[in-house]
Amino acid sequence: MLLSAILLLPLIGALVVSLIPEKDKKNLAVINSIFAFLSLILASFLFLSIKAEQTSYALQFSEHRVIFGSAFYYLGTDGISALFILAASIVSFCLSFLNEKRFTSKDHVLSLIGKAGIYGVFCAQNLILLAIMYLLAFSPALSLNKPAKKQVIFGVTSAILSILAILFVIYNIGQQYNTASDFNLQYLIFVSRPAHQIQILLFPFIILAVFIISAIWPFGKWIVFFTDKDYSNPFIISVTSKAGLFILLKIIIPLFSQAIAIYSNYIIAILSVILLILLVSSLLKKDILETFYIYSFTHSALLVIVMMMPISEKLAIGTVISCFATTLILALLFSCAVIIKEKTNWTEAKKGLSGLMPLLQIMLILSAVSSLSIPGFLSFLSFFTILENVLRNGYFSVFMLLLIYSFLTAHSILGCLTELFGRDPSMEFFNIKDITTIETASLMIMLLVLFISGILPSYLHDSLVNSAQFLSIFRW
């Protein structure tokens, strides 16, 4: 029931919000926040209930119901899914305080549906349900302007449908039609993994689809560049774009491990080139939003590179923790950027905001520091674990790439912050207000999560260890 509750809670919230008159903006925001808080409590409970002592891999929470005929409703979570759900709920709770004035009733409804969708992606064990949930996760895009909407819907739908079609083909080639388990992910992984030739044939297409939904450049542009209309930015970029990485880790790697063994070096080479181009191009950018976008793209590309290696237990844990940390960091960075954009004239603000918004400045600097793999924050732990295990796998070039990535990311992010806060402000901005206490608190929560989990990572480790061990079975 817990998983269904997590899934249904935002949908109930959407229903309640749609019943409230649109003029009452404050109440809308409060209801949104209350539902986000309830989701956070459930997600925390789910995460803390994951046990490390379990000897064999199995979904620790699962719900299976036959609806009619061959259609079934199947949800399940292990440590990795629970952590992704927790990250999404923390981000959605914290962002709910930042949207009070910006959101209309329609926006609130769509954002709540989007949240339900993303929780669904992280716990669906039925392929059809996964596809539906993924499409729901992008529902906030419906409130965008027309060209943006088209781009997002086209990109996401094509990607998800191609994954679904390919998985469907895999299963049915040479197999007898089995109504009960056609779309059951657990069945696909444990019982009926695709044959070697089919894997080799289909893998290029499937990885292309993963590239699209993981928001890797240039496909990431479709999803994130056109969602540039204030509010939907932080959630879509931080949480929804991580769903692609989640699908790669949890579904594609177990299903296509033999194909990955063959294609991995090519994919690593291609992504490394993309990564280097992006990193070099980020040196030339002085726009804060573009720099953050590039950080998001490069991080996703880096994680895909890491996942293409023979995945060991620690590497899997490092990757998942890195996803968790980046989700929070991206939410923080983009929230700050959105606030600056909203409160100032964006183009003029680049000429200098020093000392005008001290609280926001501190938050942005702390968020930037937490993204630089500096000890004390969670990103350091994941970076070092990945660094060590990449070396253990013998990929010295990727090891060097990680070092370059770390330095150039620091260079570009700090460069932007210096541009923004290093100059003295122009006269017209002297009236702008700093962020409110509630906004500061909501940003602070995310920073504290990063900091506390960076100092005490044992909870994360304990909940992830079982699912990481399971993934390492598919090490090629």
Asked if 51 touches other proteins (CB under 8 A), the answer is no
For other proteins, the closer CB: 2 or 414: 414
Asked if 369 touches other proteins (CB under 8 A), the answer is yes
Asked if 374 touches other proteins (CB under 8 A), the answer is yes
Smallest distance from the beta carbon of 404 to other proteins, in angstroms? 9
Distance CA 118, CA 239 (A): 8
Asked if 456 touches other proteins (CB under 8 A), the answer is yes
Smallest distance from the beta carbon of 269 to other proteins, in angstroms? 21
CB 99 within 8 A of CB 209: no
Asked if 353 touches other proteins (CB under 8 A), the answer is no
Contacts 24+ apart (CB under 8 A), 262-269: 262/200, 262/203, 263/203, 263/204, 263/207, 263/308, 264/308, 264/309, 264/476, 267/207, 267/304, 267/305, 267/308, 268/305, 268/308, 268/309, 268/395, 268/398
Asked if 422 touches other proteins (CB under 8 A), the answer is yes
Q: 457: helix, coil or strand?
A: coil
Asked if 387 touches other proteins (CB under 8 A), the answer is yes
The residue count for binding other proteins (CB under 8 A) is 36
For other proteins, the closer CB: 7 or 317: 317
For other proteins, the closer CB: 229 or 411: 411
| Chain centroid offset of residue 148 CA | 20
Distance CA 257, CA 19 (A): 48
Asked if 418 touches other proteins (CB under 8 A), the answer is yes
Asked if 415 touches other proteins (CB under 8 A), the answer is yes
Distance CA 269, CA 247 (A): 21
Smallest distance from the beta carbon of 422 to other proteins, in angstroms? 3
* Conformation bin of residue 352: beta by default, left when phi > 0, alpha when psi is -120 to 50: left
Distance CA 367, CA 422 (A): 17
Q: DSSP letter for 428, please.
A: G
Asked if 54 touches other proteins (CB under 8 A), the answer is no
Residue of 96, 151, 238, 385 interacting with other proteins (CB under 8 A)? 385
Asked if 410 touches other proteins (CB under 8 A), the answer is yes
Quick one: which segment of 125-133, 167-175, 241-249, 452-460 binds other proteins (CB under 8 A)? 452-460
**If 0-12 CB within 10 Å is exposed, 13-18 middle and 19+ buried, where does residue 176 land?**
exposed
For other proteins, the closer CB: 342 or 424: 424
Q: 394: helix, coil or strand?
A: coil
Residue of 391, 438, 441, 452 interacting with other proteins (CB under 8 A)? 391
Instruction: Read off the tokens for 393.
Output: 């796998």
Asked if 414 touches other proteins (CB under 8 A), the answer is yes
* Residue in the block written with tokens 């983009």: 334
Quick one: which segment of 37-45, 71-79, 337-345, 368-376 binds other proteins (CB under 8 A)? 368-376
Quick one: which segment of 19-27, 153-161, 427-435, 453-461 binds other proteins (CB under 8 A)? 453-461
| Chain centroid offset of residue 355 CA | 32
Asked if 150 touches other proteins (CB under 8 A), the answer is no
Contacts of 300 (CB under 8 A, 6+ apart): 214, 215, 216, 220, 241, 242, 244, 245
| Other beta carbons within 10 Å of 417 | 18
Residue of 283, 375, 441, 448 interacting with other proteins (CB under 8 A)? 375
For other proteins, the closer CB: 154 or 396: 396
The CA-CA-CA angle for residues 332, 334, 338, to 5°, reads 120
Quick one: which segment of 15-23, 166-174, 232-240, 404-412 binds other proteins (CB under 8 A)? 404-412
For other proteins, the closer CB: 406 or 469: 406
Residue of 150, 314, 341, 350 interacting with other proteins (CB under 8 A)? 314
Quick one: which segment of 95-103, 199-207, 214-222, 406-414 binds other proteins (CB under 8 A)? 406-414
For other proteins, the closer CB: 153 or 410: 410
Distance CA 234, CA 168 (A): 33
Asked if 372 touches other proteins (CB under 8 A), the answer is yes
Residue of 57, 73, 187, 399 interacting with other proteins (CB under 8 A)? 399
> % helix / strand / coil in the chain, to the nearest 5?
75, 5, 20
Residue of 381, 435, 444, 450 interacting with other proteins (CB under 8 A)? 381
Asked if 403 touches other proteins (CB under 8 A), the answer is yes
Instruction: Read off the tokens for 350.
Output: 């680049």
For other proteins, the closer CB: 35 or 395: 395
CB 205 within 8 A of CB 162: yes
Smallest distance from the beta carbon of 317 to other proteins, in angstroms? 7
How many residues does this entry show for the chain?
476
Smallest distance from the beta carbon of 385 to other proteins, in angstroms? 5
Question: 61-68 and 71-77 as β-strands: parallel, antiparallel, unpaired?
Answer: antiparallel
Q: Which residues bind other proteins (CB under 8 A)?
A: 314, 317-318, 352, 354, 369, 372-375, 381, 384-385, 387-388, 391-392, 399, 403, 406-407, 410-411, 414-415, 418, 421-424, 455-458, 461-462
